[in-house]
């Protein structure tokens, strides 16, 4: 049993289904406090449309300040139809919302593990032999690239038409630091990194490829490195996903590939992520954890959302932010046990299984934790 001083855990439920899924993560965190003496001090803040409604901005300064004081942030989702027509600088998930939080915290590496649960193999969009035993990780750069490059603008042209401009920019330090994350991760796995770019037509990708290669040659010669164009990588991810171990890629390409990979395991609601950044002064990286999915406004407030991706994101927080590896494995095992027992939310429902609400899924995972804890005492 772990005895610990207070660990600062900051919840940002956000919009849409965010509050529903964060409520289930809170139940897990409170279970860890009660049964594993985790010592989590949990606070909540506002980010997204809810903050815009209350404060006139999607990311209040007090949210940033609390985020900087925290050991880990667990985030729900941002945005929805209610805020679809706000001014560009007020978009909840945009440059004064979620993207600003990433920049303020200097989060630069998004780790998206993709593993196939045995119980869900037949629910994949691919044949069993393509996904059974699948275990890969996408490492996406999230601090730079086209989402942040300048200039960026929408212009009214003299002929009455408009022009939108976004700029893809990468510098050596921005590439090398996320490359090191991928190579170090690969050393704990299959020792293979595939760097994905578009170096045949993009100068930013040429810099990306050359800098990744330099880091590999100088620091990680024990890891196998390959390079692949993003169009081919997209094809191979569908055709033969088990060929990959660690995929390293840029901000925009990673956004697309990680979401597309959700189809392999059945749902966006199943995929966890960890966003890691510069050291926080307490021996760990600054970090934000969230599932791949968005705010899902069509099912918000209906107790239908799948909380598993966010609960597994919390398992990543246990590992990366708190060094609680035994508890992280226990939580992953609890999710596996519930899925093996045939419980499903609607997005992963299969014939012959039992459909569960958001809260029922959360309750089942907490009950599975009780069973695992009892077995280990």
Residues noted as catalytic: 147, 198, 231, 255, 259
In this structure, the answer to whether residues 49 and 87 fall within a common structural domain is yes
DSSP character string of 17-66: THHHHHHHHHHHHHHHHHHH---EEEEE---SHHHHHHHSSSS-HHHHHH
- pLDDT, residue 244, reads 97
- pLDDT, residue 263, reads 82
Provide the token pair at 274: 């960890």
In this structure, the answer to whether residues 355 and 275 fall within a common structural domain is yes
In this structure, the answer to whether residues 258 and 342 fall within a common structural domain is no
In this structure, the answer to whether residues 233 and 287 fall within a common structural domain is no
pLDDT tens for the chain, 377 residues: list them: 334 468 999 999 999 999 999 999 999 999 999 999 999 999 999 999 999 999 999 999 999 999 999 999 999 999 999 999 999 899 998 888 999 999 999 999 999 999 999 999 988 888 899 999 999 999 999 999 999 999 999 999 999 999 999 999 999 999 999 999 999 999 999 999 999 999 999 999 999 999 999 999 999 999 999 999 999 999 999 999 999 999 999 999 999 999 888 888 888 899 999 999 999 988 899 999 999 999 999 999 999 999 999 999 999 999 999 999 999 999 999 999 999 999 999 999 999 999 999 999 999 999 999 999 987 65
Is 118 a domain residue? Answer: no
Final residue belonging to a domain, choices 265, 290, 313 = 265
- CA atoms 317, 321, 327, 330: torsion sign: positive
- pLDDT, residue 51, reads 97
In this structure, the answer to whether residues 37 and 135 fall within a common structural domain is no
Is 252 a domain residue? Answer: yes
- pLDDT, residue 66, reads 97
Q: Are 272 and 291 in contact (CB under 8 A)?
A: yes
Is 120 a domain residue? Answer: no
- pLDDT, residue 255, reads 94
CB atoms within 10 A of CB 66: 17
Q: Are 244 and 130 in contact (CB under 8 A)?
A: no
pTM for the whole thing?
Answer: 0.94
Is 117 a domain residue? Answer: no
In this structure, the answer to whether residues 177 and 239 fall within a common structural domain is yes
Q: Are 16 and 300 in contact (CB under 8 A)?
A: yes
In this structure, the answer to whether residues 261 and 135 fall within a common structural domain is yes
Provide the token pair at 66: 């609390």
Final residue belonging to a domain, choices 265, 283, 312 = 265
Question: Which residues constitute the domain of residue 259?
Answer: 125-265
Provide the token pair at 288: 């934000």
In this structure, the answer to whether residues 240 and 347 fall within a common structural domain is no
For residue 247, report the phi and psi dihedrals to the nearest 5 degrees: -100, 125
Is 247 a domain residue? Answer: yes
Is 297 a domain residue? Answer: yes
CATH number at residue 255: 3.40.718.10
In this structure, the answer to whether residues 29 and 101 fall within a common structural domain is yes
Domain count, the chain: 2
Q: Are 351 and 299 in contact (CB under 8 A)?
A: no
| Termini Cα distance of the chain | 10
Is 119 a domain residue? Answer: no
In this structure, the answer to whether residues 313 and 256 fall within a common structural domain is no
In this structure, the answer to whether residues 135 and 260 fall within a common structural domain is yes
In this structure, the answer to whether residues 214 and 285 fall within a common structural domain is no
Final residue belonging to a domain, choices 245, 265, 285 = 265
Is 346 a domain residue? Answer: yes
């Amino acid at each position: 049993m772990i005895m610990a001083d207070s660990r600062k855990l900051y919840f940002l439920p956000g919009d849409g289904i965010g509050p529903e899924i964060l409520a289930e993560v809170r139940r897990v965190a409170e279970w860890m406090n009660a049964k594993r003496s985790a010592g989590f001090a949990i606070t909540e803040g506002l980010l997204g449309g809810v903050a815009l409604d209350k404060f006139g901005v999607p990311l209040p300064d007090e949210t940033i300040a609390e985020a900087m004081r925290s050991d880990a942030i667990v985030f729900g989702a941002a945005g929805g139809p209610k805020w679809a027509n706000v001014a560009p600088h007020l978009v909840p998930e945009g440059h004064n919302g979620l993207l600003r939080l990433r920049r303020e915290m200097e989060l630069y590496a998004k780790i998206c593990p993709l593993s196939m649960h045995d119980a869900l193999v037949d629910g994949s969009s691919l044949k069993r032999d393509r996904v059974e035993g699948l275990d890969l990780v996408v490492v996406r750069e999230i601090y730079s690239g086209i989402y942040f490059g300048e200039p960026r603008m929408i212009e009214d042209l003299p002929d009455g038409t408009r022009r939108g401009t976004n700029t893809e920019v990468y510098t050596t330090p921005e590439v090398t630091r996320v490359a090191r994350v991928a190579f170090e991760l690969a050393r704990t796995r299959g020792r293979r990194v595939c760097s994905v770019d578009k170096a045949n037509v993009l100068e930013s990708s040429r810099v990306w490829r050359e800098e990744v290669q330099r880091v590999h040659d100088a620091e990680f010669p024990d890891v196998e490195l390959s390079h692949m164009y993003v169009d081919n990588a997209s094809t191979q991810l569908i055709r033969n996903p088990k060929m990959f171990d660690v995929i390293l890629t840029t901000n925009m390409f990673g956004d697309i590939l990680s979401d597309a990979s959700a189809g392999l395991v059945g749902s966006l609601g199943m995929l966890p992520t960890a966003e890691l950044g510069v050291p926080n002064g307490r021996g760990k990286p600054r970090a934000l954890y969230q599932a791949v999915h968005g705010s899902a406004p069509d099912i918000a407030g209906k107790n239908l959302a799948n909380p598993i991706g966010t609960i597994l994101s919390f398992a990543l927080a246990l590992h990366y932010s708190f060094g609680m590896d035994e508890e992280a494995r226990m939580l992953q095992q609890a999710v596996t046990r519930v899925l093996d027992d045939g419980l499903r939310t609607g997005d992963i429902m299969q014939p012959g299984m039992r459909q569960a609400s958001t809260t029922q899924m959360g309750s089942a995972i907490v009950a599975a934790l009780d069973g695992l804890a009892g077995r280990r005492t």
